[in-house]
Amino acid sequence: MNKIYNPKPETWSSILERPTKTVDDIEATVKEIFKEVQKKGDEAVAKYTSLFDGVACEKIEVSTAEITEAVNNVSEELKAAIQLAKSNIEKFHAAQKTEKVQVETIEGVNCWQEKRPIQKVGLYIPGGTAPLFSTVLMLAVPATIAGCKEIVLCSPPDKNGNINPAILYAANLCGVTKILKVGGIQAIAGLTFGTETIPKVYKIFGPGNQFVTVAKQLATQFGVAIDMPAGPSELLIVADDTAVAAFVASDLLSQAEHGVDSQVILVSTSKNLIDAVEIEIQKQITVLPRKDIAEKAIANSKLIFVENDTIALDLINEYGPEHFIVCTACDDFYVDKIENAGSIFIGNYTPESAGDYASGTNHTLPTNGYAKNYSGVNLDSFLKAMTFQKISEKGILNIGRAIEIMAEAEGLQAHKNAVTLRLKAINNEK
């Protein structure tokens, strides 16, 4: 890892730069695949699945028999763990339900807001070297609680044309209505346009690599909403001498093993802790099965020393981390003042892994600085807020003249007439 001491604020943007390709590097490829999927449907999907995943699937929709087989192949121990996680995620997201908001803004003018589910949602679940069945829980559970009618899941197949059994088990457990063996750009394109097999959806959720992230952003140009531009994983820890160096190192490595383009950062007011964490990382990384991946991510990562907590906080808010661990003598200072972070983990015994799996919060979070303007996935992500109003004769009398004046001032005579006619009808009745 790169050690940096007392960086000046004017250097922060370059120091905190993410190790990701620019959109320009990827966009041309994404657009080409989108065009082909829009035109050729399943044929194009099959072509790119063969090209990128090295497999030809006879049927991309997962059958009931495949789901049954997958359920039987998942150990009882893992099933119990998934069920515990699902229960906690359900509790946290069900608690986010809100009642109808209703108010009489002025006598006779009743306005209210109600939330309704997005009817058709697409869930993208990464596969490859780390099949993220936990992401199924994070997306399908709130989608089900929200009441989405169609929950379509796409995940890339392995070399044998199968989806990881744990992904299928979790999808079946959480109410997914259709599961498809397709990943990458072609999956996002399929969900955007619809094909013979892949349904067109209204909103796409889920993390992915840089190609998937750009594909999701492109999907918005075709009338499809997305949760956020969620790309490669990242973690920032702020810690001092009250932190346990071994714990800090383990958390940094837990995110580094996600992928070679992941980034982890330690910000500390203690040089001793930085040195201790560096030693722990070298010790712990040697036994990791994904050592090669973690080492490459660690090469893109930073150990940053700053003089005090105020400077540390300013730097962290500038970065806007996806995951933010606070382990200091003054945790409340950071918790109260943090402005830009996807999800916050507090204290020595709150590993980021807890949020990834089983504490109940959602792990689908904004990366690449988008924590400055995006929320992580939550129940409201699967809902639309709709407003209603009902105005009585008394109500239109109370606001009618103001509407007429404002409409006339904007030069919109028909708007004014819509009120004037009603006011005249009421006055004629008297």
Task: Please give the positions annotated as active site.
Answer: 322-323
Instruction: Determine if residue 93 is labeled as part of a ligand binding site.
Output: no
DSSP state of 99: P
Instruction: Determine if residue 356 is labeled as part of a ligand binding site.
Output: yes
The Cα-based distances of 328 to 314, 325, 333, 341, 347 in angstroms read 16, 10, 9, 17, 7
Instruction: Determine if residue 217 is labeled as part of a ligand binding site.
Output: no
Long-range contacts of residues 248-251, Cβ cutoff 8 Å, at least 24 apart? 248/273, 248/277, 248/280, 248/325, 248/327, 249/277, 249/280, 249/281, 249/283, 249/284, 250/280, 250/284, 250/351, 251/325, 251/351, 251/352, 251/353
Instruction: Determine if residue 340 is labeled as part of a ligand binding site.
Output: no
Instruction: Determine if residue 263 is labeled as part of a ligand binding site.
Output: no
Instruction: Determine if residue 83 is labeled as part of a ligand binding site.
Output: no
Sheet strand arrangement including 302-305:
2-5, 302-305, 263-268, 234-239, 323-327, 343-346
Instruction: Determine if residue 124 is labeled as part of a ligand binding site.
Output: yes
Instruction: Determine if residue 233 is labeled as part of a ligand binding site.
Output: yes
Cα dihedral sign, 412-413-414-415: positive
Instruction: Determine if residue 404 is labeled as part of a ligand binding site.
Output: no
Tokens of residue 359, six digits: 């504490």
Instruction: Determine if residue 258 is labeled as part of a ligand binding site.
Output: yes
> Dmax over Cα atoms in the chain, in whole Å?
88
Tokens of residue 239, six digits: 């810690």
List residues bridging with 385 in a β-sheet.
115
Which three-class secondary structure state does DSSP give residue 16? coil
Which three-class secondary structure state does DSSP give residue 233? coil
Distance, CA of 309 to CA of 30 (rounded, Å):
42
Which three-class secondary structure state does DSSP give residue 128? coil
Binding residues for Zn(2+): 255, 258, 356, 415
Binding residues: 124, 186, 209, 233, 255, 258, 323, 356, 410, 415
Binding residues for NAD(+): 124, 186, 209
